Structure 1
Amino acid sequence: MKNRKLVITHTLEQELLDQIKAVIPDWELVASKEKEVWQETVKDAEIIAGWKKGLDEYCLGSDSKLKWLQSWSAGVDSMPLEKLAARNIILTSANGVHAYPISETIFALMLGLTRKIHTYVKNQQSQVWHHANMKLEIHGKTIGIMGIGAIGSETAKIAKAFGMKVLGVRNSGKPAEFVDEMYTTDQLHHVLPQCDYVVVTLPHTKETHHLFGAEQFEQMKSSAFFINIGRGQIVVEDDLVQALQKGTIAGAGLDVFEKEPLGTESPLWKMGNVIITPHTAGSTEHYNKRVVENILVPNLKNYIDCGTPAINLVDYSKGY
């Protein structure tokens, strides 16, 4: 009988590999970011951890043995969800891994815009000593968090350290710790006018596609800052550009864009009221360790014992 196979499309430290191997000692384990290492094995893999572009040609054929796919990212919108669903392949995400680094990035962007750090960095490069009309502070302000998952919850927790009022938006409308008032997505028009900061942590789905456009920016305060670390496709980017150029909103901190990399022709690059990061909000020195120890290994144990993983099961009908 051939060994069952787990293919991980990332290169991991031996300590992490040992933890995985301890759960499946009789399995064949292949782990490498190099396609040449795993491409011959992946077609026979029962489990794949980490999706790579083009993998579908190897593991979604009629003779595929794939039963479970563990994403290495929280978002799964770039995966062939319809094909995976049609083959009844279990899909789990890495939701929760990013809560610390992304919440830190959110506040870096909020504080940077509020205290004009980006302006002072530019002034430093030009050796210009100028006040830049800096006057705002973040304490006591109102933050609206669109999406109260792991990232949104950690952001709400940190906001309380600044004495902020926290408004949350989630599909269920279910209350959450550190959130003063919870709303549903169809109540955005009630939330946005109250916010000094609007933070988007939502996944990209059919329901959230272009959720933010001209109408939503018009509902925001002219003094409000817009932070997007969710997905670029949630925003009508041209409408955001117009809102920033016209002063409909005060500024934006953006880690994600409709098309990535952001094109050099985009006006966003040269706007003084915008801070751009290259989709790096979730980057952290602890990324692989958290995926393996907090998600993959517990899911593997449950898969071996019960036939299905238990953490971060993706609902194909919802897209997350």
Structure 2
Amino acid sequence: MKVACSWHATDEELKYLKDALPAGTNVVAPSGEYFSRFECTSNDFRDLVVDADAIIGYTLPRGAIEISEKLKFISFMHSGINELHLDLLKTKGIKVANIRGSNAIAVAEQTMMFMLSLAKLTVLKHNMASNGQQVFPWWEDGTRAAMLHGRTLGVLGVGNVGSRVAKRAKAFDMQVLGVRRDKDAGVEHVDSMYGMDDLHSVLAKSDYVVLAMPLTRDTEQFYGKSEIEAMKPSAFLINVARGTLVAEKPLHEALISGRLRGYAADVWWWYENAMPATCYNGTMSRLGVHKLPNVLCSGDQASNADDVLERNLAYGTQNLVEFFGGQVVKNEVSLDLGY
């Protein structure tokens, strides 16, 4: 068996993989100079993947699937799989697993940081204090902090991340409302669970809304003008899932008009079918959402935290162990659903 790594794996990482996999498994990775060791080009990867039985990695270079003659399995080192050509994989009978849950604690902590920073006007008050300015007058709109205590949090997507956000919100005595595809599946720390049909009623009750759901054909830009209008004007929206869950223009209009109190995101839009076309979060918001005074931003940094890299490798390797061992692959994804 042959496993191809789609990143410039270190000797220690290769040894970890080889030790976990059946004896004799050939584990290969690109070598030589690189721009970032967590990626590789088609030229780096072509000779490695052509006869590989499985791929593990953070990227899938263009054309890799088409030239793979024996490929049966991909262990993709992300929670989301929307970058992959799912229809092609399904046609070729290639199974895919992700590493959902590996970065969930880090992303949940980032979510709480966003909630607190928005509520407490952290950046504004830091900048004022560092410039020697007094906050004046007190208890007025614009200088008065919001509270988490006793407020309602709506979590859209109560999976690995959303459930951990709910748990942490309970430490602030918040009421937690969850929205998920299967509303009958109860989750600890969520007071009430709802289906997507009840979304607007949940938004109307929520002081904070967290997006923690996968990006699929059904959820792309689902959060638009009607969803924003269903929210309280005093509410905050936090997105730690995928930027394109949210329609950019109505969000921008709501933030500059005061219809929405604030927004925070670790994830931003990409513009595949645009002029100019971009990918992932390289240009942030074309409308400048990230520059608004009531917005907090980071660029895909929630998972850039202690413990995550090691956990990524462990989860990704476990996928391979289960697949080659003929076991149920716990993190296998549905190519039809996209998660």
- Tell me, in whole angstroms, the C-alpha distance in 2 between the residues paired with 1:73 and 1:177: 25
Q: Which residue does the alignment assign to 2:125?
A: 120
Displacement of 1:258: 2.0
DSSP-derived class of the 1:60 partner: helix
Corresponding residue number in structure 2 for 1:299: 319
How far apart, CA to CA, are the structure 2 residues paired with 1:216 and 1:176? Answer: 24
Q: What's the TM-score, normalizing by structure 1?
A: 0.91
Partners in 1 of 2:291 and 2:329 — Cα distance? 45
CA distance in 2, matches of 1:198, 1:290: 28
Comparing 233-242 and 135-144, the one that deviates more: 135-144
Residue 164 in structure 1 maps to residue 174 in structure 2: yes
- Checking the alignment, whether the CA contact within 8 Å between 1:226 and 1:251 is kept in structure 2 is yes
The percent identity for this pair of structures is 29
Shift of 1:243: 1.0
User: Does 1:89 find its partner at 2:68?
Assistant: no
* Aligned: 1:139 with 2:137: no
Among candidates 134, 158, 174, match of residue 129 of structure 1: 134
Gapped regions of structure 1 (runs ≥ 5):
none
Q: Decide whether the 8 Å contact of 2:98 with 2:316 is kept in 1.
A: no
Residue 291 of structure 2 corresponds to 270
Cα deviation, 1:63-102, whole Å, max 9, x if unaligned, reads 6211000111111001111111110101001110121111
SS of the residue aligned with 2:309? helix
The alpha-carbon deviation at position 138 of structure 1 amounts to 1.2
Q: What is the distance in 1 between the residues matched to 2:9 and 2:105?
A: 21
Residue 275 of structure 2 corresponds to none
List per-residue Cα deviations over 1:142-187 (Å, max 9, x = no partner).
1000001100011111011111101001101021111100001121
1: CA distance, partners of 2:169 / 2:108: 10
SS across alignment from 1:216 = helix
Structure-2 separation of matches of 1:159 and 1:269: 25
Out of 97, 109, 113, the position equivalent to 2:114 is: 109
Within the candidate set 158, 163, 171, 1:148 is matched to 158
Instruction: Report matched runs for 1:219-258 at 5 Å.
Output: 219-258=230-269
Q: Is the 8 A contact 2:6 2:57 kept in 1?
A: yes
Q: 2:24 aligns with which of 11, 23, 26?
A: 26
Relative to the length of structure 2, the TM-score reads: 0.86
Alignment match, 2:33: none
CA contact (8 A) 1:175 1:182 kept: yes
Amino acid at match of 1:45: A
Distance 2:145 2:307 in 1: 36
**Aligned mates of 2:144, 2:8 — CA distance in 1:** 45
Separation of aligned partners in 2, 1:147 and 1:266: 27
Report the count of equivalent residues: 313
Residue 17 of structure 1, CA deviation: 2.9
Distance in 2, matches of 1:127 and 1:65, equals 65
Distance 1:124 1:25, change over 3 A: farther
Cross-structure match for 1:46: 53
Output the CA distance in 2 between the equivalents of 1:265 and 1:73.
Answer: 26
1:59 equivalent in alignment to 2:70: no
Alpha-carbon distance in structure 1 between the residues aligned to 2:145 and 2:25: 60
- TM superposition shift of 1:207: 1.4
Asked if residue 204 in structure 1 is aligned to residue 215 in structure 2, the reply is yes
Query: Structure 1 residues 268 and 163 mapped into 2: Cα distance closer, same or farther (>3 Å)?
Result: same
Q: Which runs of 5+ in 2 are unaligned?
A: 31-36, 137-141, 271-280
